[in-house]
Amino acid sequence: MKKIPVLKTITYGYSFTFGHLGTIIGLIWLPMVVVAVAGYFVMSNYYGTFPTAMEQGNSVVAGQSALLVLCWSIASLLISSVMYAAVTRQALGLKHGTTLINFTFGATELRVFGAIAALLAILFFFMLVYALAVLASAALAASLGGAKEIGDVIGGILVIVFFFAMIYALVRLSFLLIPATVSEGKVGLAQSWKLTQGNFWRIFLVAIATLGPLLLVTLAVEVAILAPGFFMPKAAASADFDRNMQQMIAQMRATSPHLPWLYGFSFLIAPVFLGLGLGPSAFAYRALTQKDDVH
């Protein structure tokens, strides 16, 4: 069972990102412009249309608006696959030199899209299992004469078990997913799971050291743009649908004026995010498969 070299992987992530930042920008700027601009207009329409439609009880308009967002999410993932594949090729050493513009879409990019879609499907499955488990615990509590305390204990245990099982599975399935898919010419879910055996905590440390600081910066910027109160909505019972819907509508309307700043920041941070997200996984994949000498 091979182990991921934690320190070397972290070091490579930073050296790849900032040592090849110009190349990464060249690889992603065109698809990123499409994702940012189109995404802004789609979400701006959604944030303006959906709240009003829900308040007016116009489920048709609300559904059409939500469907547009869903369709755009799929298209955005397809375009983003171009960026993921390109940066991963560079990090794996399959491509060398600088690039000024890139929008290559072929079998590799389609496989990356399929791999991510498969991972999202697994996540959906986890959520479905969780929902069924909650319903089962509620039914069990009812069969015991409505003993709420017993139901709460069972529900709490199910939540904890589900959470850690989901995190464990998603970390192992996702960490090497894209480099395995790009390098081996097939969806890399099984390979990522196989290679990451015994490496969960090493992957966790790598992620904390590379993406952790960037996520903190992102959170700080979002708090500065949206104000701290946005992230502390008033508590409402999970079963109180109307109250929860009102809070969601209020948050959407509070976010809408700030969308240009949010999308602008995501555009600027994208090269660093992709470098630190894909560089370490590519290095770890090479180390675990001995694709070449890893120094």
**Digit-coded pLDDT (tens) for 11-70:** 999 999 999 999 999 999 999 999 999 999 999 999 999 999 988 889 899 999 999 999
User: If phi over 0 gives left and psi between -120 and 50 gives alpha, with beta otherwise, what is residue 105?
Assistant: beta
pLDDT band (50, 70, 90) for residue 275: very high
Whole-model pTM: value is 0.88
pLDDT of residue 161: 82
Instruction: State the Cα–Cα distance between residues 107 and 113, nearest whole angstrom.
Output: 10
- Main-chain phi, psi angles of 136, to 5 degrees: -65, -40
pLDDT of residue 250: 87
Contact between 186 and 112 under an 8 Å Cβ cutoff? The reply is: no
Cα 169 versus chain centre, distance: 15
Percentage of the chain modeled with pLDDT above 70: 89
Q: What is the amino acid identity at position 276?
A: L
pLDDT of residue 295: 45
pLDDT of residue 142: 67
Q: Where are the domains of the chain?
A: 6-115+198-289
pLDDT tens, position by position, 96-146: 888 889 998 999 999 999 999 999 999 999 888 877 877 776 676 666 655
Q: Within 10 A of 216 (CB to CB), how many other CB atoms are there? A: 10
Q: Which residue has the higher pLDDT, 165 or 284?
A: 284
Q: Is the pLDDT of residue 226 over 70?
A: yes
Longest Cα–Cα distance in the chain: 70
Q: Which residue has the higher pLDDT, 292 or 188?
A: 188
Reduce the DSSP state of residue 195 to 3 states and report it.
Answer: helix
Q: Is the pLDDT of residue 212 over 90?
A: yes
Query: What is the average pLDDT across 207-228?
Result: 94
The one-character DSSP state at 186 is S
Q: Is the pLDDT of residue 229 over 80?
A: no
Q: Which residue has the tokens 């940066």?
A: 87
Q: Which residue has the higher pLDDT, 190 or 1?
A: 190
Token pair recorded at residue 88: 């991963």
- Which range is least confidently modeled, 73-77, 150-154, 215-219, 243-247? 150-154
Token pair recorded at residue 185: 């010419």
- Main-chain phi, psi angles of 294, to 5 degrees: -105, 120
